[in-house]
Chain A
Amino acid sequence: MELFLSQILNGLAIGQVYALIALGFSLVFGVANIINFAQGALFMLGAFIAYSAIAWFELPLVAAAAVSVVIVAILGLLLERIALRPLIGAPYIAPFLSTLAISTIIDQSAEIIWSPESQPFPAALSNTTFFIGNAYITLTDLVIFAFGAAATVALTLFISFTWTGRALRATAQDSAAAAQLGIRTEAMRQIAFGLAGALGALSGILVALYFQSVFPQMGIPFGLKGFAAALLGGLASIPGAVVGGLLLGIGETLASAYVGDSYRDAIAFTLLLLMLLVKPNGLLGSKRLDALGGAGAAAGAMPTTSLLASSSSQQTAIRAVYLPAWGFLVVGIAFATVPLVLTSTYVLQALIYGFIFALLAVSTSLVSGSVGILSIGHAAFFGVGAYAVGILARPYGLSADATLLVAIALTALVAVVAAIPLLRLTGHTAALGTLAIGQIGFLVFLNWVSVTRGPMGILNIPHPVLEILGGARFATTAQKYWLVLGFVVIGLVIAERYVSSPIGRVWRAIREDRLAAQASGLPVKRYILLAFAISGALAGLAGGLFAYVQQVVSPESFTVETSILVLTMAVLGGLGNFTGAAVSGFALAILPEFLRGFAEWRMIIYGLLLLAALRVRPQGLLGAR
């Protein structure tokens, strides 16, 4: 019982921090109607700038924190300026992808500046422990709770009782009406982003104090938890963000105490998915989410659920360029001749990865583009396929026919189950749901040691043997090249056949206007699940082939970075355009081979590419379909 109470007190402290991150999401969501994916990056920068101020310039903690809060608030303003302002009138999904790109760039830059390693935070609060009855709480926890609570109260007072606060809320509720009362709505947007930056920095510093360490990858998990907290409480609601943060903090602290610390994050993300499933408007939420295509599909400010539509009436239609299904076969046959001419294992190896990522990008494009549920979690499906092969191939001595079949079927099943919480969501919220799925997948690969062998990974995966070809063994690189190419071409042909069929037309109808699709009597849910099943099958196949090529499967291949990468491929190719996805997947996968010396710049380059594409050609290279 004492433990239980202590955990609750402890959870309140970390929960207060989540509440701050959540408030950052809520403010920006309210005023600018977008989910700022870069909130996590601002949070991470807050922690690191404070860290540098202490470690490099020997500032005291309070001064370092103040410096960090100010700098990150300014970065928040810049974020709005650079990544979002130019996209007003662009497709609805562009701002979200833009913040995603910025966050990738910031995260990777942080790894370059501060090294990817986790570092001890150089300031600590005293570890004095207080007892309330038999339950205890440390001074650190108390200070964190007090600071978080004070910031929340200050923000609430500001929002409720100042002219600027009222104007902020008015802009959040009806931007056009606010403008007609003389409110500078652009300025309100900027203030919201500045405040979100300040809140992000403050929460980053508090988390650094709480866990006594900082690491460049902290942004995404904490950003996602902050979003989970915001969603838990109702995205646009400020008291909701606080309640959500506290509940999440208590929930995950209890989970880590009674289930195991490695499950802390997995439980937080599962909670997020459950919330999406049960009550997507949140505990204290209003109908505001609907405006983003949240719970009720096409309703509110956004008259369509389409990712590609925009509020600008000045849209020009871009003709999509794509191959028919047999075209993939022709291209595949052309590629099949390459090993006859080229013998360099290095080049063939690069091409093999190109094929695998082409398939993975198409799989992502299917759900993200054709159905319109932006997937930032595809690495999880990719991983399921890879692990299925990794686990089955050696100990059971199964042939590649069998393992790949299991990989395909299992991943399809996992994808369908994962899609269930997403069924009622569209737009940004669905995207964050997929992100949670991706994170859960990664955490399972990492922590389910008895099956996946955890961080060690599965080594020595044997060369594939196909029973169907009379036990042919694919041992050399050229042989594996043909094997992969063969399967990828089959996968692409099937995918293209689907998307060009009446089924594909239904998918696009669901994407364009889910309500209208429902009103036309289409069984929307069934079609979405079908899309996830096929997408999962393709990703599972890609993963299985990947395992055979790598001969090693380990969790770091299936991080959120991979998910962002394949989504970037899908967007660059033109969402829903499988030819485009395959081309850009292939190109972006072999690109790093040419950038060997700049390995750490890779994600930055991808981020910049995505950012540039959104500005210049949001429909993708070959046009969205």
Chain B
Amino acid sequence: MADIAPRIVIDAIDVHYGAVQALFGLSLTVGDGEVVSVLGGNASGKSTTIKSVLGLVRPTKGTITLDGLRVDGQRPDAIIGRGVASVPEGRRVFPDMSVYENLLLGAYPRRREAKDLAGDLERVYEAFPRLKERRAQLAGTMSGGEQQMLALARAWLRRPSLVCIDEPSMGLSPRFVDQVYEVLHGWKAQGITILLVEQNARMALELADRAYVLQHGRVAVSGTARELASDPQVRKAYLGAA
């Protein structure tokens, strides 16, 4: 699947934060309809990878292409404008805005499609009855798990063909982690391409087609999710296998 017209191609990028280098010649591809997971420990460069794709940080070397066009050095809004949605690390819902307004902002790039929007909003409310219940409530007053659901729903309202997701299970109770992944499995079934950064390797490998394991800003291991799940090293380091 990855061989035909990859959506994202990261080719040998370096990323620096001031004097500190976070990524060292990192390369990665995401094929159409594929779910690719980036795994690794703290400070391994996972988040930096996804931030580079979204234009939040600029690589100092190497290129990133999205659907064959270079996007490195472009602003986030330009990249989002090309059919990408983001579920940021730590959810980042707008705390002083209502759930309804948060959802609407997800559809900001589609703001001229008023008709479709109403229908999509209904679909979101159907899929997340909790959000419908709380649509007038300020997002900041909800629990972490509910906020994560909101962040997912907000991204879905973009009606993206590609979603970048940064640590969706962070700080959530196991019940909510299951719910999050249930949603992601649904997206995969809809054919949405997903780039998923995750510390929870077990959940990520269940969802992903392929995965990359980063270590100190470099790809340490990569392969299909099945291969990695059975790789003794990965099992030992990230899956806590006995």
CB nearest to A286 among chain B residues: B96
A184 partner residues in chain B, CB cutoff 8 A:
75, 77
Q: In the complex, identify which listed stretch (A14-22, A168-176, A251-259) lies at the interface while the others stay far away.
A: A168-176
| B106: Cβ under 8 A from any A Cβ | yes
Q: In the complex, identify which listed stretch (A291-299, A312-320, A326-334, A569-577) lies at the interface while the others stay far away.
A: A312-320
* B-contact bits for A161-191, CB 8 A (1 contact / 0 none): 0010011011001101111111111100000
Q: Which of A166, A170, A179 contacts B56 (CB 8 A)?
A: A179
Are A181's CB and B105's CB within 8 A?
A: yes
Q: Which of A163, A177, A314 contacts B94 (CB 8 A)?
A: A177
In whole Å, how far is B30's beta carbon from the nearest beta carbon of chain A?
18
Q: In the complex, identify which listed stretch (B65-73, B80-88, B123-131, B171-179) lies at the interface while the others stay far away.
A: B80-88
CB nearest to B93 among chain A residues: A177
CA distance A179 to B84 in the complex (A): 12
Interface size class of B (residues with CB under 8 A): 20 to 34
Are B86's CB and A181's CB within 8 A?
A: yes
Are A180's CB and B76's CB within 8 A?
A: yes
Q: Which applies to chain A's interface (DSSP): helix, strand, loop or mixed?
A: helix
CA distance A167 to B102 in the complex (A): 10
Find residues 20-68 in chain B having any chain A CB closer than 8 Å to their own CB: 20, 54, 56
CB nearest to A187 among chain B residues: B77
CA distance A163 to B105 in the complex (A): 8
Interface size class of A (residues with CB under 8 A): 20 to 34
In whole Å, how far is B82's beta carbon from the nearest beta carbon of chain A?
10
Q: Which of A167, A173, A180, A186 contacts B88 (CB 8 A)?
A: A180
- Tell whether A169 pairs with B97 under 8 Å between CB atoms, given A163-B111, A183-B108: yes
| B109: Cβ under 8 A from any A Cβ | yes
- Tell whether A180 pairs with B80 under 8 Å between CB atoms, given A163-B111, A313-B20: yes
CA distance A174 to B151 in the complex (A): 13
Are B108's CB and A180's CB within 8 A?
A: no
Are B105's CB and A170's CB within 8 A?
A: yes
In whole Å, how far is A88's beta carbon from the nearest beta carbon of chain B?
13
A170 partner residues in chain B, CB cutoff 8 A:
94, 97, 105
Are A174's CB and B108's CB within 8 A?
A: no
Are A166's CB and B104's CB within 8 A?
A: yes
CA distance A183 to B111 in the complex (A): 11
Are A176's CB and B18's CB within 8 A?
A: no
B210 partner residues in chain A, CB cutoff 8 A:
none
A181 partner residues in chain B, CB cutoff 8 A:
80, 86, 105-106, 108-109, 154, 158
B96 partner residues in chain A, CB cutoff 8 A:
169, 173, 286
Are B54's CB and A313's CB within 8 A?
A: no
Interface pairs A-B: 9 shortest CB-CB:
A182-B80, A313-B18, A177-B92, A180-B86, A314-B18, A182-B109, A179-B76, A173-B94, A163-B111
10 pairs from A and B in contact (CB 8 Å cutoff): A166-B105, A167-B105, A176-B92, A177-B92, A178-B94, A180-B92, A181-B86, A181-B105, A182-B76, A182-B158
Residues of A within 8 A of B (CB): 163, 166-167, 169-170, 173-174, 176-186, 286, 312-315
